[in-house]
Amino acid sequence: MPAADAPRIGFVGLGNMGQPMAALLARAGHSITVYDVDPARTHVAAQTVPVGIAADLHRLGAASDIVITMLPNGDIVARAADELAGSLPGGAVLVDMSSSAPLGTIALGETLAARGIGLLDAPVSGGVRRAATGELAIMIGGDEAAIARVRPILEVLGRLFPVGRLGSAHALKALNNFVSAAGLAAACEALLIAERFGIEPDLVVEVLNNSTGRNNSTENKLRPFVLSGKFDAGFAAALMAKDIGIAARLARDLNVPAPTLEASAHLWAEAAAALPPGSDHTAIYRHLAGD
């Protein structure tokens, strides 16, 4: 049972990541109201944990002091924020945990501040598995007092890493995914070349993981999701391509030469377009293999 003075939480976006995150908050005893454009998702949430359901964003805003968004991109976040702003109480805080463009986040923060609403960017890393266990890495940017206010809520979901001014967390999330995606693509290319040469795939992974080529993908993705043929790690190739595109645009906006980033952005955009809709990011292996 939440304390009488506990903040009311609104949660917008109940997809693969949002649903387990909202469920964790509810199980931790927070007062939470949820909304998703797909009513079936809100129905599933209400069947599993004690949450309130809002029929629309206006009603969710009226029932919330802090709103968390976990949505596909920054444009959708901005549209949702515009709808929420009309009913949120003064002093409310919007926490965007989506992967959004950092310059767009800064602009949205200025718009909301003029309406008496705070904004924090708090994207996550760790995937669906860590979303369900509360072990996400949460980068967070913005006003320190606002961060202190939401910290007890977000620490239910994972470990916080304050990274600077508003927009910094979205920038770092995109850059993190670039590094992750580049490592996965490189590992898959190495695997394909080694297989063509006649080296057993499992041995390739064994050697990589005991050598300097070791990375998150060689340790956690090649065997369970690539060699197994499952390709279901829980993060879409299209979303990975989007995040790397955000990083590439940021580098251009800042006039920072980034040839590896540009090459990765091109590769992942090409893969996302070529793979079947909804494909997991580990299916980059299939794209590289020409399947």
Query: Which residues does 283 contact at the CB level (< 8 Å), separation at least 6?
Result: 231, 237, 271, 275
Nearest to 152 by CA among 20, 12, 28: 28
- pLDDT (mean) for 31-51: 92
- pLDDT (mean) for 93-116: 97
d(CA 182, CA 160): 25
Query: Which residues does 122 contact at the CB level (< 8 Å), separation at least 6?
Result: 95, 96, 97, 138, 139, 140, 141, 150, 154, 160, 169
Summarize pLDDT for 211-255 with one digit per residue, the tens: 999 999 999 999 999 999 999 998 999 999 999 999 999 999 999
pLDDT tier at 57, thresholds 50, 70, 90: very high
Catalytic residue flag (residue 242) = no
pLDDT tier at 47, thresholds 50, 70, 90: confident
pLDDT tier at 5, thresholds 50, 70, 90: confident
Provide the residue type at 167 as one letter: G
The pLDDT score that the predictor gives to residue 161 is: 98
pLDDT tier at 44, thresholds 50, 70, 90: confident
The pLDDT score that the predictor gives to residue 48 is: 86
Q: Which of 173, 221, 230, 242 is catalytic?
A: 173
Across 80-237, where does the E strand assignment appear? 93-96, 118-121, 124-125, 136-141, 158-164
Summarize pLDDT for 262-290 with one digit per residue, the tens: 999 999 999 999 999 999 999 999 999 99
pLDDT tier at 2, thresholds 50, 70, 90: low
The pLDDT score that the predictor gives to residue 4 is: 58
d(CA 280, CA 212): 26
9 SS3 class: strand
Going along the chain from its start, the domains and CATH numbers come out as 9-166 (3.40.50.720), 171-289 (1.10.1040.10)
108 SS3 class: helix
The answer to whether 235 and 225 have CB atoms below 8 angstroms apart is no
d(CA 170, CA 123): 6
How large is the angle between the packed helices 168-197 and 259-274, nearest 10 degrees?
70
Nearest 5°: CA angle at 47, between 43 and 52? 70
As a whole-number percent, the residues of the chain with pLDDT over 70 amount to 99
pLDDT tier at 160, thresholds 50, 70, 90: very high
d(CA 264, CA 245): 9
As a whole-number percent, the residues of the chain with pLDDT over 90 amount to 93
- pLDDT (mean) for 194-215: 98
The pLDDT score that the predictor gives to residue 1 is: 52
Q: Is the pLDDT of residue 58 over 60?
A: yes
